[in-house]
Amino acid sequence: MTKYIIIPARGGSKTIPNKNLSIFADKPLIHWSIIQSQKLGNNIFVTSDSSNIKKISVGLGVNFIKRPDKLSGDKASSESAIMHALNFIKKDVGEKFGKNDICIFLQPTSPLRKKNDIEFAIDYFYKNKLDSLFSANLAEDTHIWKENKNTLKSITFDNKNRKMRQEIKNMYLENGSFYIFNINKFLDLKQKTRLFGKIGIYLLEDWQKHEIDTIEDLVYIESLFTNKKLDLEFN
């Protein structure tokens, strides 16, 4: 059972220029996902179109995959980056994926991970014989509405038959911190998606749900990161 870690980190961003290179707890943001993954093994691959991210990755001793421009734009899907990376690992590196080999897909913009989160999630993945897994949080507010053609419709509850809060079954928020999936089963899919087959979740604490998308997010999440001493956990 081999673990392959893929970290997507394109150079551009509409909301924060060079977001993955933003200084976060005294290091470039991409630095933290790389060192958080290093205790998992040596098969770590950063995929990016950025030469600066390449320099950081190589400096930290991990593999770098040059992502083509057509897979680096705002509209490029994560699945396209995953496929490109897996094809590179298979063809250029010469790896042969085994039946139970997995991919751990880490997003640098969700750095609030504790030291053993990913290892515990991998154990849970194998013990429960899952095909794919995502990190999640309990949804705090389950009364969600959708607007369509100037009409509002409740989509997570029956507005005409409201249940008491304690009667509502747990709902989960996909927080984007990490995903785990069986590589060969992913490659066999006609329509590529990182979540398929028997899907599981790994619950994180509520403060770990945040993702960096704006400058305000960056400042707030950095304060959480340092207050929880995550910078010390991985140094």
Indicate whether 96 belongs to any domain.
Answer: yes
Indicate whether 157 belongs to any domain.
Answer: no
Indicate whether 32 belongs to any domain.
Answer: yes
Look up tokens 């053993």; give the residue: 116
Indicate whether 129 belongs to any domain.
Answer: yes
For residue 33, give the 3-state DSSP assignment. helix
Q: What CA–CA distance (Å, rounded) separates 6 from 104?
A: 6
The predicted structure's pLDDT at residue 165: 66
Indicate whether 159 belongs to any domain.
Answer: no
Contact 37/104 with Cβ under 8 angstroms? yes
Indicate yes or no: pTM above 0.75: yes
The predicted structure's pLDDT at residue 235: 64
Indicate whether 81 belongs to any domain.
Answer: yes
Indicate whether 147 belongs to any domain.
Answer: no
Q: What is the pLDDT along the chain (235 residues), one digit of tens a residue?
A: 899 999 999 877 777 889 999 999 999 999 999 999 998 999 999 999 899 999 999 999 999 999 887 767 667 788 989 999 999 998 877 778 999 999 999 999 999 999 999 999 999 999 999 999 999 999 877 777 888 888 888 777 777 777 766 667 788 999 999 999 999 999 999 888 999 999 999 999 999 999 999 999 999 999 999 999 988 877 6
Tally of domains within the chain: 1
What is the secondary structure of 55-88 as a DSSP string?
HHHHHTT-EEEE--GGGSSTT--HHHHHHHHHHH
Where in the sequence is the domain holding 49, given as residue range(s)? 3-135+174-233
Indicate whether 155 belongs to any domain.
Answer: no
CATH no. for residue 12? 3.90.550.10
